[in-house]
Amino acid sequence: MKYIFVVSSRRIKQMLIIFTAVLLAIGIAYAERDTIAVFTGGDKGKVPQAIYKVDTNEKKIALTFDISWGETRATPILDILKEKKVNKATFFLSSPWSQRHPDIVKRIVEDKYEIGSHGHKHDDYTKYSDEEIRNQIGKAHTILTELTGKQPNLIRMPNGDFDKRVLHVAADMGYTVIQWDTDSKDWTNPGVDTIVKNVLSKAHPGDIILMHASDSCKQTHLALPAIIDRLRAEGYQFVTVSELIAGSQVKSEEVN
């Protein structure tokens, strides 16, 4: 017995449309696979990512301080950390500042705080070519390594400016870009109480807190004791950024 199957031209057209749509979807997914991986974590060993915070239930938190200029604010902050027995924090240092103030860099090293790079020129690296980005990161790397005796592997880009290209160049040079989830906004000098509120109202387990030890930030050292005391009272433990992200699921945000 013979069976004859008849498929209408309309049905064939519908099948072709569906097949084309599936192929298009697969093509888009394939083209965007790297973009998706960069900002969802992916394989940590292969894809670059900017880390804003860590997903953890443990009450661990990282205090971070950026320094780009000045000589009067860093020492009081170091004094307060020592007085309050905060033995873990991360300082992101620009290399020109570090060259001008090797004595302060030496103290940060002796106090055993973690040191990350804040680049060379305090500028927006997204406007640079790949070669110039490498040049800026490389200059800072050489200077900080000579001054501290240890190669940094964390970097906070000047003003927190970066894009996908900067992430890839930094990763190729062995760096992880570190951002923050809580901004103290101390750089606006809004008042001590406001700085304290800015931190405490948002601080959470796995948080990376942004503060500054440059001379333009005149109230950070005054707000820091209250921040430390109140976070401790809430059960938080202070750790370095490296300790925070070690073995944990990092959180990143998409960049345009």
Give the CA distances from residue 121 to residues 128, 129, 137, in Å, rounded to whole numbers and listed in that order. Answer: 11, 14, 9
Catalytic residue among 101, 120, 141, 212: 212
Three-point CA angle 200, 201, 207, nearest 5°: 65
CA-based R_g, the chain, Å: 24
- Quick one: 197 exposed, middle or buried, by C-beta within 10 A (0-12, 13-18, 19+)? middle
For residue 43, indicate whether it is catalytic.
no
Residue 212 annotated in active site: yes
Residue 56, Cβ density class (10 Å: 0-12 exposed, 13-18 middle, ≥19 buried): middle
What amino acid positions are annotated as catalytic residues?
A: 66, 212
